[in-house]
Amino acid sequence: MANSVMSLLAHILALFMVFKSTQAKTVTYDFNVTWVMANPDGLYERKVVGINGQWPLPTIEVDQGDRLVVNMFNGLGDKSSSIHFHGMFQNRTNEMDGPSMVTQCPVAPGSSITYNFTVEQHGTYWYHCHTDYCYPDGYRAPLIVHDNSSYFHDMYDEEFTISMSDWYHELMEDITFISRTNPTGAEPLPQSFLFNDTTSGINLSVEPGKTYLLRLVNIGAFVAQYFYIEDHSFQIVEIDGVYTEATNASILYIAVAQRYSVLVTMKNSTEKNYPIVTVADSQLLDTIPSDLKLNSTNWLQYNASAPHPQANITVASCTDLDPYDDMNLVPYDRMELLPDPDLTIELTVYMEDLDNGADYALLNNISYTAPKVPTLYTVLSAGDLATDSLVYGEFTHSMILEHNQVVEVILNNGDTGSHPFHLHGHQFQVINRAPGYGAHFYDFADGDPVAYDPSNHTAFPEYPARRDTFVLPPQGYFVIRFVADNPGVWIFHCHIDWHLMQGLAMVMIEAPLQIQERVTIPENHYEVCKAAGVQYEGNAAGNTEDYLDLTGQNKQVGWLPAGFTTKGIVAMVFSCISAFLGMAFISVYGASGIPKKKPEATEPVDVASTEN
């Protein structure tokens, strides 16, 4: 008897181990990337980036713990590319992160790259091209990491993944944007808003009484969208891969790159179909053409033969919609507020004309300008100098973070637009933001910018929401914290692709000496550099002899002196204040002021630091 129990137990254990070992599998995708034709809004057929001859692109699906391998061949012929797996930590695999000239070389036409990493997270993500502003041409789709052990796994019957995005008729390369003909930096207006890559009205075929998990992903390039379902509320259970305590809500505001998972329970009656409504945030648009359809109707389809009514939008403006404030969400793991920071990085967003007459974006005084050597490759070839931020160049805005520091980023907005900022390699705690959300989101837009005051702010949450993309309100600020526990080169940037193009980015070089110990670049990635003719050793200027000599580095466009001096950026930057506060060593980078008014033209002055 005892024997047979033992043998049964051994048997069960063996089965369990087989189950465990087969659980973490390798999921391989072969992507042949070529141009294909598509007409997602029914208004205009255009060239889009397809995969294996298809567009819309496939959703990548893996289980938590799987190894994901993506073999990409760039068959575009005329454009370089790469893939960023948005929200993936790439812990120990920084070289697989995807942004060109940050962690890899651009993949030239005719060459191939292999991405290969384990997926230790769960939830809703997406993948997109991260080279030369190529994702708005269609190179973007969801990436889902299934997790059968999530706390809400038994709370739903089926799931749907829904993408939303803005859509342009022209290729990115044909759209005039950074130009002296556009000195205000007005973002190009999309022609349509897509729901799951179409405007034809999707029907989510549902059954009465069942509960569905909807995974919502804004894969757009520019415009945030409001989301709600007529006569149905829902529970938020995930944001950007972070499970949250189930929280009732009826309207969401989903900025580009953000994700929400919600549980929606169906009614018992099958008489009607209900509009799923998305409304573009028209506050982001400089002008609204009369033929631009801002809101769209799709359906929870209970009954295919019943009418499919158009949304009955009862508010006059999208700002009258009252979305759930993501700062109120509590992570399911109840991770506590991180302690006071070891390093504080204080930044201010400015949008300014530089001396070619075009409008650029700056963080403090730097408009991100790509280096000649991918920054990760500089880390790996610089030896001990990897801890000196100078080797990464003056215009990549690289900051060295020490391993396991608590880092706080204070981001002030000197601009009247909002900016969804994304940090690669982390989910950060969102601990402060002003002005409010929803109707209050634009409260500061018409007055003067308001900077974060460390000695006078609203209380930090006990269990702050965490996510990887968070919206900076117009002329307001936000404060985030994270632990530098993921050695790697991580770009921090506005996810509005137009603003990234204008330079709204900086680079965190997290624990450079640990990167050197942990990261090995696969031979295939060096082949990518050779094919692209891009150097993979040296400092930002490509100098392999003297890493502190940046002669020949790429530089941002020179200052328009008047605007520059009025703001006094010169005096503001590179001030580095260190102080002892209790036992913690606090460094403050930035300590910027905010302009009180638009600069006026004055006599040109000589600004030495910008000369070649």
Ligand X SMILES: *[C@@H]1O[C@H](CO)[C@@H](O)[C@H](O)[C@H]1NC(C)=O
Question: Which H or E run includes 10?
Answer: helix 2-23
Q: Is 571 helix (H, G, I), strand (E, B) or coil?
A: helix
Q: How far is it, in rounded angstroms, from Cα 182 to Cα 286? A: 12
223 lies in the binding site for Cu ion (CB under 5 A): no
Residue 430, class by beta-carbon neighbours within 10 Å (0-12 exposed, 13-18 middle, 19+ buried)?
buried
Q: Pick one of 132, 325, 485, 537: the residue that binds ligand X (CB under 6 A).
A: 485
Task: Confirm or reject binding of residue 22 to ligand X (CB under 6 A).
Answer: no
What's the rounded Cα separation, in Å, for the pair 572 and 555? 20
| Binding window for ligand X (CB under 6 A); candidates: 78-86, 199-207, 345-353, 533-541 | 199-207
Q: Which helix (H) or strand (E) is 228 found in, with range?
A: strand 225-229
Site string for Cu ion, 417-436 (x = CB under 5 A): --x-----------------
Cα distance between residue 302 and residue 208, in whole Å: 7
Q: Among 313, 439, 513, 572, indicate the residue that binds ligand X (CB under 6 A).
A: 313
Note if the bond before 435 is cis, omega within 30 degrees. Answer: yes
Q: Which is nearer to ligand X, 53 or 447 (CB)?
A: 53
Q: Give the shortest CB-148-to-Cu ion separation in angstroms.
A: 37
Site string for ligand X, 439-458 (x = CB under 6 A): -----------------x--
Instruction: Report yes or no: 133 and 106 within 8 Å, Cβ to Cβ.
Output: no
Binding to ligand X, residues 79-138 (CB under 6 A): 89, 91, 114, 116
The residue within the footprint of ligand X, chosen from 169, 267, 403, 440 (CB under 6 A), is: 267
Q: Which stretch binds ligand X (CB under 6 A): 200-208, 371-379, 555-563, 565-573?
A: 200-208
Cβ closest to Cu ion, residue 48 vs residue 501: 501
Tokens representing residue 337 in the block = 């507020």
- CA-CA-CA-CA torsion for 399, 402, 407, 412, nearest 10 degrees? -10
DSSP string, 456-489: S-PPPPSS--EESEEEEPTT-EEEEEEE--S-EE
Q: How buried is residue 7: exposed, middle or buried, by Cβ count under 10 Å (0-12/13-18/19+)?
A: exposed
535 binds ligand X (CB under 6 A): no
**578 lies in the binding site for ligand X (CB under 6 A):** no
Q: How many residues does the chain have?
A: 612
Which of 337, 339, 396 shows the shortest CA–CA distance to 366?
A: 396
Which of the stretches 39-47, 201-209, 540-548, 549-557 binds ligand X when contact is defined by CB under 6 A?
A: 201-209
- Closer to Cu ion by Cβ: residue 400 or 494: 494
Minimum Å distance from CB 495 to Cu ion? 7
Q: Is 306 in the site for ligand X (CB under 6 A)?
A: yes
DSSP for 17-30 reads HHHHHHHS-EEEEE
**Would you call 526 helix, strand, or coil by DSSP?**
helix
Question: DSSP class of residue 612?
Answer: -
Does 54 bind ligand X (CB under 6 A)? Our answer is: no
Q: What are phi and psi of 461, to 5 degrees?
A: -65, 150
Minimum gap (Å) between residue 203 Cβ and ligand X: 4
Stretch of 291-299, 361-369, 494-502, 552-560 contacting ligand X, by CB under 6 A: 291-299
Q: Are 347 and 412 in contact (CB under 8 A)?
A: yes
Q: Which is nearer to ligand X, 275 or 417 (CB)?
A: 275
**201 in contact with ligand X (CB under 6 A):** yes
Instruction: Residue 166: name the closest of 386, 420, 529 by CA.
Output: 420
- Candidates 311-319, 356-364, 505-513, 580-588: pick the segment binding ligand X (CB under 6 A): 311-319
| Minimum distance, C-beta of residue 441 to ligand X, in the bound complex (Å) | 15
- End-to-end alpha carbon distance in the chain: 87
State the nearest-atom distance from the C-beta of 498 to Cu ion, in Å. Answer: 7
Asked if 491 interacts with Cu ion (CB under 5 A), we say: no
Torsion of CA 114, 117, 122, 127, to 10 degrees: -20
Choose among Cu ion, ligand X, none what residue 569 binds, the Cβ cut-off being 5 to 8 Å by kind.
Answer: none
Judged by CB under 6 A, which of 27, 43, 63, 175 binds ligand X? Answer: 63
Smallest separation, CB 508 to Cu ion (Å): 18
| Binding region for ligand X (CB under 6 A) out of 252-260, 307-315, 473-481, 584-592 | 307-315
- Looking at 372-380, 443-451, 493-501, 591-599, which segment touches Cu ion (CB under 5 A)? 493-501
**Residues 214, 264, 279, 361: which binds ligand X (CB under 6 A)?**
279
Q: Report d(CA 185, CA 319) in Å as an integer.
A: 23
Residue 488 amino acid letter = G
Residue identified by tokens 């073999």 is 71
Dihedral Cα 174, 175, 180, 183, nearest 10 deg = 180
Q: Which residues bind Cu ion (CB under 5 A)?
A: 419, 494, 496, 499
Q: Which residues bind ligand X (CB under 6 A)?
A: 23, 32, 34, 53, 56, 63, 69, 73, 75, 89, 91, 114, 116, 148, 160, 196, 200-204, 209, 233, 248, 267-268, 270-271, 279, 293-295, 303, 305-306, 308, 312-315, 317-318, 426, 456, 485-486
